Amino acid sequence: MSILDIHALDVGYHSKTILHNITLTVEEGQFISVIAPNGTGKSTLLKAIAGILKPLAGTICLNNKALTDYSRRELAQQIAVVGSEVAMQEYTVLQMVLMGRFPHIPRFSGPTRKDYEIVQIAMQEAGVWDKRFRSCSELSQGERQKIIIARALAQQPKLLLLDEPTSHLDVSNQFSILHLIKKLAITKDMAVIAVMHDINLAMQFSTDLLLLKKGQILAYGSSPGVATAENLRSLYDMEFTLHCDAAATYVRPNITE
């Protein structure tokens, strides 16, 4: 089922267009990685989908309803955003994840038993329940990223947006986080859109790739069909070689002297 429909979208800052004529449909269970060189509008796209940036032209519909017809609270009940940098201060893990319930809690009310049950499930799914009373500042970068994902899950969103979810993580944590995100997209019937820089990780874990070039869609579709040597050459202005084995396909840039 379609969760997100974007048609002829232009987005920019102060009337300067960064993204032009973006059209795509996102369905339940999709894990889409957005791949593009720096400064080409990846994060701008996430901000537009999250309702942070108002389009210069075109439409964004969430569950067949225009994004502009949602209140901020209603959007937060449908869309969760995980940024590349999150300030955690001295909150405990439980306090941080509980913030994900705020869009669902009526004004001047406190969290209910049901809210705490949802938070517990989110923390268990993200693998941080055993750290619930620890201070976030004491934990590693990988553990903090899982906490933020748990907070996003506590929102019970239909759409999860992530900006460079594996930045600053070691290889083990990169695989752990992306495996978790892929699993959640399937089991929670939600859609995931993530800005990624590592093409091989994106190919391994994503169902689909969205390649952006100069603010426009270069290619969009299933990972094997999109991550071709020709598309990557056009995207990065350099040559790539694809390596295929029984398990997966990998790309390697051709380095010349």
pLDDT tens readout for residues 89-118:
789 999 999 999 999 999 889 999 999 999
pLDDT at 86: 66
State both tokens at 9: 């979208």
Domain ranges of the chain: 1-63+158-227, 87-155
pLDDT at 134: 95
pLDDT in tens, 199-256: 999 999 999 999 999 999 999 999 888 989 899 999 999 998 888 776 677 888 887 6
In the predicted model, what is the mean pLDDT of residues 123-139? 93
pLDDT in tens, 7-39: 999 999 887 899 999 999 999 999 999 999 988
d(CA 197, CA 251): 13
Q: Is the pTM of this model over 0.85?
A: yes
Secondary structure tally for the chain: helices H, strands E: 9, 12
CB neighbours of 232 closer than 8 A, spacing ≥ 6? 199, 240, 251
**pLDDT band of 168, cuts 50, 70, 90:** confident
CATH number of the domain at 1-63+158-227, please? 3.40.50.300
Edge-to-edge strands, sheet with 216-222: 79-82, 159-163, 191-195, 31-35, 208-213, 216-222
Dihedral (CA of 4, 124, 115, 163) sign: negative
d(CA 193, CA 80): 11
Average pLDDT, the chain: 92
CB neighbours of 30 closer than 8 A, spacing ≥ 6? 185, 191, 192, 207, 208
d(CA 100, CA 93): 12
Q: Is the pLDDT of residue 257 over 70?
A: no
H or E element at residue 34: strand 31-35
